Amino acid sequence: MTRLRKAVAYRRLERPYTRYSKYKQVCYVRARPVCKVVSFDLGDEKMKYEYELVLVSKSDLQIRDNAIESARQTSNRLLEKTLGKSGYAMKVRIYPHHILRENPLASGAGADRMSTGMAHNYGKPIGIAAQVHAGKPLFSLKVNKENLEVARHALKRASYKLPCACSIVTQKIADVKAPAAKVVAAN
């Protein structure tokens, strides 16, 4: 198996390359790599929570799917150990659509017979990434007031796995009460 190239090769934002179709004449992607993010919604979404914490990116860049999955795993592991499966609701807010390509150029002895150079420079798909702009939420986490510190620590751990500087925004969830339904008496 080939080893993973450094993320610095794909960090810069470029035109999104997502053209994948079931019709061959409009599909320019030869193969679409599988997304490594296992789950995007974690915890108990049905419960009512008081606070929402959001992990926000401070820069424009591309984040590969293995970095997103690694950040999700490390924060979810901490949350499950301390709060249990029903003490939080976490959501991964980005999806890796952009397909990363590589045109490997051989170097050394015999490279002229092996490499095509720029003759066929389109490249093979090697992975997928999410394109993120500054201020975009990466993860959101809902907890109650007594679990705020644990949630903040979990998002901090997730930010260590991502290749960008991140900030954590805490906001109180407003209780939106539905207007009382009018009861019509049937005669």
pLDDT tens-digit series, residues 163-181: 889 999 999 987 644 454 5
Query: Facing residues of 52 across strands?
Result: 142, 171
Query: Can you give the three-state secondary structure of 16-49, one letter per residue?
Result: CCCCCCCCHHHCCCCCCCCCCCCCCEEECCCCCC
Give me the pLDDT at residue 71, please.
94
Give residues with Cβ within 8 angstroms of 104, minimum separation 6: none
pTM: 0.79
pLDDT band at 137 (very low <50, low <70, confident <90, very high): very high
Give CATH for domain 32-102+124-172.
3.90.1170.10
Indicate whether 89 pLDDT > 90: yes
What is the residue extent of each domain of the chain? 32-102+124-172
